[in-house]
Amino acid sequence: MSDVPDNAPAHCPGTQSEDAGKASACAGCPNQSVCASAPKGPDPDLQAIAERMASVKNKLLVLSGKGGVGKSTFATQLAFALAAQGKEVGLLDIDICGPSAPKLTGLEGEEVHQSGSGWSPVYVEENLAVMSIGFMLPNPDDAVIWRGPRKNALIKQFLKDVVWGSLDYLVVDAPPGTSDEHISIAQFLKAAAAPVAAGSSGRNIAGGMDAAVIVTTPQEVSIIDVRKEVSFCRKVGLQVLGVVENMSTLQICADLR
């Protein structure tokens, strides 16, 4: 269960936060006094995330500063390529407002099924599992108009409740920029790594997010925002594996004009 109530204000810090009931966003919230006085403790969801992610060897986050540069295309192709090499692969689409994974994997119209052990991802093939909010919308044209806390809660559920099984790679397709979704995934995985690591022999079992790949196009406006993504990765302690320059030939065509 999320610690962010459904009727929470936009920047609700969560009922378990030390700031619960005290943050500026709490002013006027009907739950303010309850949150302020309720006992706080470690978020039990983090342990659940750590346990679920312990069977995922590598987690790669695909980022970009600008939208439409080919993140989802790259993330999907990477997932397919790794699966073709015989790896066990998961593709997690955390673009809540603009999910692309169902279309790009040819799984449009598929639904997520729930079992006693959690949500079953949708499979392209035996070793390639996909999860996206796109599988949960009654109508694919429905707009998802969610504020940060609700998006964060769903991302938490994607990490905690999806039965990913043992994976060699979890490829995460992010929306553009450095917003709620990016902060959530980096923080949840990092925080979830800590409780498991504390009881271990010093090895970080859950591992947090392992690395990021930044996608750009050759245009200056896109490259400027790559620097912002690199800076984001540094701030959240995420190694940058590389920068992919997509659609390079489009630049050549433009230069010829």
Ligand X SMILES: Nc1ncnc2c1ncn2[C@@H]1O[C@H](COP(=O)(O)OP(=O)(O)OP(=O)(O)O)[C@@H](O)[C@H]1O
What's the CA gap between 142 and 145, in Å, rounded? 9
Contacts of 228 (CB under 8 A, 6+ apart): 65, 178
Contacts of 112 (CB under 8 A, 6+ apart): 119, 120, 121, 122, 131, 135, 136
Q: Binding partner of residue 26 among ligand X, Mg ion, none, CB under 5 to 8 Å per kind? A: none
Q: How many residues bind to ligand X according to rule CB under 6 A?
A: 15
User: Which of 16, 100, 132, 222 is close enough to bind ligand X by CB under 6 A?
Assistant: 100
Are 233 and 239 in contact, with CB atoms under 8 Å apart? yes
Choice between 72 and 152, CB closer to ligand X: 72
Decide if residue 64 touches Mg ion (CB under 5 A): no
Decide if residue 149 touches ligand X (CB under 6 A): no
Choice between 68 and 140, CB closer to ligand X: 68
Decide if residue 70 touches ligand X (CB under 6 A): yes
Lay out the site mask for ligand X across 75-94 (x = CB under 6 A, - = otherwise).
--------------------
Q: Which two tokens stand for residue 256?
A: 């010829």
Q: Binding partner of residue 42 among ligand X, Mg ion, none, CB under 5 to 8 Å per kind? A: none
Decide if residue 182 touches ligand X (CB under 6 A): no
- In the complex, the smallest distance separating the C-beta of residue 95 from Mg ion, rounded to whole angstroms, is 5
Decide if residue 59 touches ligand X (CB under 6 A): no
User: Which of 2, 15, 64, 72 is close enough to bind Mg ion by CB under 5 A?
Assistant: 72
Decide if residue 72 touches ligand X (CB under 6 A): yes
Are 167 and 59 in contact, with CB atoms under 8 Å apart? no
Question: Residue 40's closest CA among 11, 14, 78, 66?
Answer: 14
What's the CA gap between 175 and 210, in Å, rounded? 18
Question: Residue 129's closest CA among 184, 167, 175, 186?
Answer: 167
3-state secondary structure of 180: helix
Decide if residue 222 touches Mg ion (CB under 5 A): no
Burial (CB count <10 Å: 0-12, 13-18, 19+), residue 96: buried
User: Which of 17, 31, 32, 73 is close enough to bind ligand X by CB under 6 A?
Assistant: 73
Choice between 9 and 175, CB closer to ligand X: 175
Decide if residue 100 touches Mg ion (CB under 5 A): yes
Lay out the site mask for ligand X across 188-227 (x = CB under 6 A, - = otherwise).
----------------------------------------
Decide if residue 95 touches ligand X (CB under 6 A): yes
What is the contact surface with ligand X in residues (CB under 6 A)? 64, 67-73, 95, 98, 100, 175-176, 246-247
Binding site for Mg ion (CB under 5 A): 71-72, 100
